[in-house]
Amino acid sequence: MTSLTELILFLVVLSDFAVLGTSRLSSCIRAVALQGLLLGLLPLVIDESLTRHAVGLALGTVAVKAIVLPAFLRWAIREAAVRREVEPLIGYTASIALGIAALAVAFAVANVLPMRGGEAELLIPTALVTVMIGLTVLITRAKALLQVVGYLMLENGIYLFGLTQARRVPFLVEAGVLLDVFVGVFIMGIVVFHINREFDSISAARLTELHE
């Protein structure tokens, strides 16, 4: 089971990099949906005894992160009619380099942290790197929609961190977090839609201009 967990965590990191390296919004959304699916599988794989807690967590995560939110984001890009991130603040190659630096930092930090992921040793570095790459996307992309994707990755990282304590965290807390994210992304999507309506663009930089 450990190697399966490792494989899933590898794929999570690779999907982080896929978001960093692609300009096409639909590919980014697909990558983040895949990440959601992988995160949904994780509680089942880590917790070998299929408790109701783990199954519920997995089902909820897959439903929200792999199906509902990506579908909603796809709706948003269709409404806003954007296909590509044209001018990121940091180029894609540089983003990948930043991602690698984040990876190195994550592993270095995870080594000195007092807590351990138990059987899944890679869990904490993966969580850290997903948070950092999510933040990078959030900061460096100009399109508001990709910023939502970055926010989602940030949340995925926090969720991964939570999995280290999966047995101790009550189900309700997890459900609450999922609901929060859901509502957050929903609101952001509607905001993106309205930004697009008002400004004919979803570049966040335009928001500095005041409109009546």
Please give the residue ranges that form the binding site for another protein (CB under 8 A): 3, 6-7, 10, 13, 17, 21, 92-93, 96-97, 99-100, 103-104, 107, 110-111, 125
In the block, residue with structure tokens 């930004």: 195
As measured in angstroms, the least distance from the Cβ of 4 to another protein is: 10
Identify the DSSP state of 121.
Answer: T
Q: What's the CA dihedral at 17, 20, 26, 29 to 10 degrees?
A: 60
By beta-carbon proximity to another protein, the closer residue of 79 and 121 is 121
By beta-carbon proximity to another protein, the closer residue of 111 and 208 is 111
What is the DSSP track for 1-49? -HHHHHHHHHHHHHHHHHHHH--BHHHHHHHHHHHHHHHHHHHHHHS-S
Phi (first) and psi of residue 23, to 5 degrees: -100, -20
By beta-carbon proximity to another protein, the closer residue of 7 and 205 is 7
By beta-carbon proximity to another protein, the closer residue of 104 and 173 is 104
As measured in angstroms, the least distance from the Cβ of 92 to another protein is: 5
As measured in angstroms, the least distance from the Cβ of 21 to another protein is: 6
CB 18 within 8 A of CB 27: yes
As measured in angstroms, the least distance from the Cβ of 5 to another protein is: 10
